[in-house]
Structure 1
Amino acid sequence: MKTDNFSLPYSQRSCPDGMVPEVWQVFCLWADCNDQKTQQQYWLDYLDIHSNYYDKDGNRLPVQTDQLQLF
Structure 2
Amino acid sequence: MEVKIGVQHAPREIVLESGQSAEEVERAVADALAGKAQLLTLVDDHGRKVLVPSDRLAYVEIGEPAARKVGFSAL
What's the TM-score once normalised by structure 1's chain length? 0.27
The structure whose residues are more often helix, as a share, is 1
The structure whose residues are more often strand, as a share, is 2
What's the TM-score once normalised by structure 2's chain length? 0.26
Higher relative contact order (CA closer than 8 Å, sequence separation 6+): 2
